Amino acid sequence: FWGIGLATSEDGLHFDRLSTFPIITGDQTAQFPNNRGIAGGGTILQEMRLDGSTHYRMYYTLATGTPDPNDIRVDQEKHCAVCHSTDGLRWTDHRVVLSPRPDVSTEDAAVAAPWVWREKDRYRMMYCGIGTRWGFYSMSEAVSVDGYTWDRGEPETNRSLAPDPQNQWESQMVEYPSIVDEGHQLRLFYCGNGYGNTGIGTATATLPLPGA
């Protein structure tokens, strides 16, 4: 996709586009200045600064791959990025914060769709990985103290949800996390096969999470 757009609503049902042009495009990071692609999935965090001003962080997905039917690591390459704004309209300081890990077969092609939230004095992220093991999405977790440098632990230890061969609708892939804090647990909503074509599922994790 070319970019991320912005629309506003008074009732949450009917939206008006700000512009016919995107507010974020795929060529705004120093690492990929000639990239054009952005993929779906991401999070906006609202944070208050010491001076009382509001600051926004947006985590989103860069689609940097080029078509290659013989190598999924080239064809599906994606990275997670972050940018910043004080008004939600103008976004600056775009940075790549998470990239594929060549030594992890579930995410050696792509990391995408970051869902980020604050937990006490740290940030947590649920993200999707594509790798040579399955060729499609699974979901894993990372933690950070500043929201920029992320710890994913040892290879294969941070996977949160994998495709389930016993469930036909999610036997191939699980992706695009959205998390709701219910107080005593976190509830995860996610898509299944066909990037959501087969439906939306849910899973829960009891609080506190490991490492909290």
Question: pLDDT by residue (tens digit) across 44-64?
Answer: 999 998 898 999 999 999 999
The DSSP bridge partners found for residue 203 are: 188
Q: Which two tokens stand for residue 41?
A: 């999935």
**What is the pTM assigned to this prediction?**
0.93
Scan for tokens 């290659």, then name that residue: 68
Provide the pairing of β-strand 137-144 with 159-161: antiparallel
**25-51: per-residue pLDDT in tens?**
999 999 999 998 998 778 999 999 889
pLDDT (tens digit per residue) in 67-103: 999 999 999 999 999 999 999 999 999 999 999 999 9
Contacts of 18 (CB under 8 A, 6+ apart): 5, 6, 7, 8, 89
Structural domains present in the chain: 3-161 (2.115.10.20)
Q: The dihedral of CA 180, 175, 138, 164: what is its sign? A: positive
Q: Does residue 117 have a pLDDT over 80?
A: yes
Q: Determine the Cα–Cα distance for residues 102 and 99; give it in Å rounded to an integer.
A: 9
